[in-house]
Structure 1
């Protein structure tokens, strides 16, 4: 069960209203890297997790992410306080109210008008939250890596939001949330490496013929060799011929079909076969009518100007 405590996990202090900044903060409220997405990702993983340690950790972090959602929601609400009342009571003239919502690069007018300065589950562009943000696949060695990456992306978004505000209280709260992303990354990494072996993800090993091969597919100026493609762990392949049909087969797409299907496909191929030896007039050519060239010559529909002839105009 869940039990709510009215005290926030971190104290939020906002110096003055700023609807534009509030709109940006929605990225961490209802965006793909936001707190709701994180909470739902870890909660759904926890429900189906069989390992007691990982299950406990995932429930703990999922619940904390809901606390972070609450912090971000309060930041958004307080940054919107002034404009929310002004919009509701129409205390200013239409032009002045529009200027406040739209001026100085503030693009929050959509969320202000649609949601009245509230805390909608949308991102900063007004796109509604979606469960498509949750990329859980049900394999701990894959999901933990995805969780690590999700926390890393969230940290970067918080860094950028911190750089955009000069409100010390908002900066402080965002700094706390950013730091907790680091702590969660550490927990997920420990949980990942507590599984041995954990690479490659899943159960099946890779085909040893290809597991240590690096195909140099983009060749030319700017090629760089490093630990990711050279050394005793890598077979570096630049030869174009050796990059094709690497299984030793023909490199063609083949399928075995019943005789009945082969006959039907042959009939379709014969019916739709093109004739490379004809040049039929097309609707585009017929629709052009007579065209006059720059030197006054007239070209009939379907006729071909000689090489080097001036262009139609």
Structure 2
């Protein structure tokens, strides 16, 4: 087994619900807050829904527009992209727009990505789909009005893993050098919350049943196992965080990622968020007064005061 854990202990460590009384409370909160955000955006005509970013099934995204979108002469705004969790096998963009209204109020575009879920797609395919979503967003910036050089990612749990995997991408294979404006990455910042960055233990738990991870997939999709470029070669600002009420393994994985990235020269903002668990910590993105949302605004260089509408 993995490290010193028994099979039962390992399953407990990688079951985030082991730290909460009822996971359904948080899932229902995702659903209700996301429904309200989408209904409001549809009423205000400030969202484009079900935009297809590839020809594969379930590969669509919703793009929310900022509240100041219709102002004449406004500058192109920045884009925050949210990648949902669910252990690569659950949830969708429909439960993932809970923070949309908050970002819209702060004059940001906000995108939520749908991707195929296991067992209908392998983890390698899921990672690739998220790359294609970023490419699509980069290439359609002019059409929708945001700044293609100001794209930021945030992911929760499995979504945090997917967001960090975007650092392990040769973007010139997807976007021409001319389109990239001689940059090596279209991503300026990543916020990874409560993520899994070494898949080795996952393969030894019930979580692997729909994933069916191979040894090669574990190696090529584990940020803690892969060699990576330093910050000078792949510049990107990083936030890594997790809730106080999470298992020691989730905390360890985040801490080890922070150490790896710091050694490679990345600027990493790292924080354990008090009184939060694996599921409610990401809901802080919907609240402008929280540490997490404030740090994301700072990462986007949007920490100044706004005339909120």
- Do they superpose with TM above 0.5? no
State TM-score, norm by structure 2. 0.25
State TM-score, norm by structure 1. 0.25
Structure with greater strand percent? 2
Greater RCO (CA < 8 Å, at least 6 residues apart): 2
Q: Which has the larger radius of gyration?
A: 1
Structure with greater helix percent? 1
